[in-house]
């Protein structure tokens, strides 16, 4: 196990509080949980790419980062009557 994989394990553990926010809580807290989980998964994919020395897979992380912006805007648009 190298340093990148150990860091990805630590970031993966940070997803547990995000899941708690997404599953239990008000609408605002669920939105925060989804946004934070998206950022953490993006970082996790980048760390796993570096850990396994598969640099072409960094495209997955970059694509997810770009898609999160649009997805969050659509999610907020559907929830605007509850916020």
- pTM for the full predicted model: 0.87
Tell me the per-residue pLDDT of 17-30, one tens digit each, with 9 for 90 and over. 999 998 998 888 98
Q: Name the residue among 33, 32, 8 with its Cα closest to residue 18.
A: 33
Provide the angle, in degrees to the nearest 10, between the axes of the packed helices 27-51 and 15-23: 150
Distance separating alpha carbons of residues 8 and 14, to the nearest angstrom? 10
pLDDT of 78 > 70? The answer is yes
Give the model confidence (pLDDT) of 54-77 as tens digits.
999 999 999 999 999 888 888 888
DSSP run (H or E) holding 53: none
């Amino acid at each position: 196990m190298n340093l990148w994989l150990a860091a990805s394990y630590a970031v993966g553990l940070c997803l547990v509080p995000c899941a708690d926010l997404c599953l239990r809580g008000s609408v605002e807290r669920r939105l925060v949980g989804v946004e934070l989980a998206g950022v953490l998964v993006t970082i996790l994919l980048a760390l796993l790419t570096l850990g396994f020395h598969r640099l072409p897979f960094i495209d997955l992380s970059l694509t997810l980062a770009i898609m999160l912006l649009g997805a969050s805007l659509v999610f907020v648009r559907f929830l605007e009557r509850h916020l």
